[in-house]
Amino acid sequence: MSGRDFDDIADINKFFDGEAAPARPVTAIPERAGKPDGLDTEFSPFIEECPACRGTGKFRSWSGRIVGDCFKCKGQKNRTFKTSPEARAKARANNVQRRAAWKAQNGQQDVAIDCTKIEAAFAKRRSVAAEKGAVGVKGLVLHFPNFTFSPDRRDPNVIWVNSKSHTNDRGLPAAFGKIVDGKLHTFRLATPEIIDEIKAFAADPAGNARLTGQKKEFGICCCCGATLTDPNSIEAGIGPICAGKWGF
Ligand SMILES: [Zn+2]
Ligand SMILES: [Zn+2]
């Protein structure tokens, strides 16, 4: 077997995002990766020349010097896909359309708010969780009176800002916006007041988390959602363990 397998179209789309070069089929189905007895009729892989290294299997520096194996095909020169190049091209085109339609439908706007400090707080929290062997995004939520911040379950580059008082058509919390690459993108539901609240947190996550927890009508630790009961924590507006986990 050459290259790596892709489990689904989403993987493939991720790989091809922003890549102009189309996959060039080297061979249609020259090999069957089935069992030697030939009973495996389910899996007919499409083996193609790796587009990243153009089938050389080598990774070249900007000067053209070979500096190692191609990181896309791991030096295998070919890549194996479960679907045809045509099917994948079609799926990519559909995805582009779907994304554009989704943006239009949800009124996506790009807001000039620097969210890199929020991303840094989540990165810190993730590294603390990873040190303890935790995987996934369970518990990685920040609680505010009107919304929560929670990382996307699949895409580590996305943090959602979800409303506490709106749901979408699937009954899940509807998003005010999302943070990607340090920038905030808002949706139709986000009012100027909500955007201001996100902005205040983005400017100073640690200070704002404490300030929010100190508000009597909230009285909740932003980091875990627990009601603050310890006098010291009430005064600090945050629990001491949570503060450490988030770098607040
Ligand atoms: Zn390659
Ligand atoms: Zn807490």
The answer to whether residues 239 and 120 belong to one domain is yes
CA of 77 to the centre of ligand 1 (A): 5
pLDDT in tens, 113-167: 999 999 999 999 999 998 888 877 778 999 999 999 999 988 989 999 999 999 9
pLDDT of residue 102: 86
CA of 4 to the centre of ligand 2 (A): 42
CA of 23 to the centre of ligand 2 (A): 49
What angle is formed at CA 155 by the lines to CA 149 and CA 158, rounded to 5 degrees?
35
CA of 246 to the centre of ligand 2 (A): 10
Residue 127 domain flag:
yes
Residue 1 domain flag:
no
CA of 59 to the centre of ligand 1 (A): 7
The answer to whether residues 92 and 132 belong to one domain is no
The answer to whether residues 116 and 227 belong to one domain is yes
The answer to whether residues 126 and 81 belong to one domain is no
Higher per-residue confidence, 200 vs 35: 200
- Domain boundary at 80, 102, 124, which? 102
CA of 58 to the centre of ligand 1 (A): 6
The answer to whether residues 86 and 39 belong to one domain is yes
The answer to whether residues 204 and 84 belong to one domain is no
pLDDT in tens, 59-118: 988 888 888 999 899 999 999 888 888 999 999 999 999 999 988 888 888 898 999 999
Cβ proximity of 199 and 208 under 8 Å: no
The answer to whether residues 57 and 22 belong to one domain is yes
The answer to whether residues 51 and 168 belong to one domain is no
- Host domain of residue 119: 107-246
Residue 3 domain flag:
no
Separation of alpha carbons 236 and 233, rounded Å: 5
Residue 2 domain flag:
no
CA of 93 to the centre of ligand 1 (A): 23
If you search the block for the tokens 């892989």, which residue do you land on? 45
Q: Please, how many CA atoms are within 13 Å of residue 27, restricted to the half-sphere of its CB?
A: 12
pLDDT(37) > 50 = no
The answer to whether residues 29 and 131 belong to one domain is no
Which ligand lies nearest to the CA atom of residue 233 in the structure? 2
CA of 87 to the centre of ligand 2 (A): 48
Which ligand lies nearest to the CA atom of residue 222 in the structure? 2
Which ligand lies nearest to the CA atom of residue 69 in the structure? 1
The whole-chain average pLDDT of the chain stands at 84
Cβ proximity of 121 and 245 under 8 Å: no
Residue 203 domain flag:
yes
pLDDT of residue 105: 86
Token pair recorded at residue 112? 């000039």
The answer to whether residues 225 and 152 belong to one domain is yes
Which ligand lies nearest to the CA atom of residue 224 in the structure? 2
CA of 175 to the centre of ligand 2 (A): 23
Which ligand lies nearest to the CA atom of residue 240 in the structure? 2
CA of 118 to the centre of ligand 2 (A): 17
